[in-house]
C-alpha cells in the first residue's frame, strides 16, 4: 500500500491492471471461449472479483465471497486493509454502488453467517442498495445471495448451479 501510494497509485489499480491483462491472455487462448469468462474470489479475492466485474464487461458472471462489507463501516472502525483503499470513493458511493455496476449480469454474493469480517447489519444495508440497482436494470433474476452457516470461507453451492446453467446457455 505504501509503495503504491508513493508511486501515485493504489493497490486496487495495480490489481485491476493485472486482472485485465489476465482477461486479455485468456481471450487469446484458442481453447478458451472468450465470451464465457467468469470471476470468483474470497475476501480480497471477492473484493477484486467485484472490482474487475464492475469495470470490465468481459466478465459475464461474478461470484464475490466474503466481501459484503462497506468501506463506510470499515473506515469508522479504522479496520481496513490498505490493499483495498480507494481514495475519495465515499464522496460518490460505496461498495454497493460498485457491485451495482455489475447489473444486469449474473452475480452470486456469498455471506457466511459466522463471518466475523462482515457486520451483518451493514451487509443488509448494502444488499438493499444492490437489489435496487438490479431491479432498476430489470435483472432481479440475475442476483443471487447465498447465506450459509459458516465463517469466512468460499461456499460455491449456489455459484456452482448458476455457473453450470450459464455455461450451458
Number of Cα atoms under 13 Å in the Cβ half of residue 157: 11
Least confident range from 104-108, 119-123, 132-136: namely: 119-123
User: Which H helix or E strand runs over 108?
Assistant: strand 107-112
Q: How confident is the model at residue 20 (pLDDT cuts 50, 70, 90)?
A: very high
pTM: 0.92
148 SS3 class = strand
Computed over every residue of the chain, the mean pLDDT equals 92
How are beta strands 59-65 and 37-42 bridged, if at all? parallel
DSSP H or E run through 37: strand 37-42
Residue 76, pLDDT score: 59
Q: Cell match 486493509: residue?
A: 81
Amino acid at each position: 500500500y505504501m509503495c503504491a501510494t508513493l508511486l501515485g497509485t493504489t493497490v486496487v489499480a495495480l490489481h485491476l491492471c493485472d486482472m485485465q491483462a489476465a482477461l486479455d491472455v485468456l481471450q487469446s487462448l484458442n481453447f478458451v471461449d472468450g465470451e464465457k469468462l467468469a470471476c470468483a474470489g474470497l475476501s480480497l479475492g471477492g473484493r477484486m472479483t467485484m472490482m474487475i466485474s464492475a469495470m470490465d464487461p468481459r466478465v459475464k458472471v461474478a461470484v464475490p465471497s466474503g466481501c459484503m462489507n462497506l468501506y463506510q463501516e470499515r473506515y469508522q472502525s479504522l479496520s481496513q486493509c490498505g490493499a483495498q483503499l480507494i481514495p475519495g470513493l465515499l464522496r460518490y458511493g460505496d461498495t454497493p454502488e460498485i457491485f451495482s455496476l455489475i447489473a444486469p449480469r449474473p452475480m452470486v454474493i456469498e455471506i457466511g453467517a459466522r463471518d466475523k469480517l462482515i457486520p451483518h447489519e451493514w451487509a443488509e444495508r448494502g444488499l438493499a442498495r444492490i437489489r435496487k440497482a438490479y431491479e432498476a436494470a430489470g435483472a432481479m433474476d440475475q442476483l443471487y445471495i447465498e447465506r450459509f452457516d459458516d465463517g469466512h470461507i468460499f461456499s460455491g453451492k449456489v455459484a456452482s448451479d448458476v455457473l453450470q446453467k450459464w455455461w450451458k446457455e
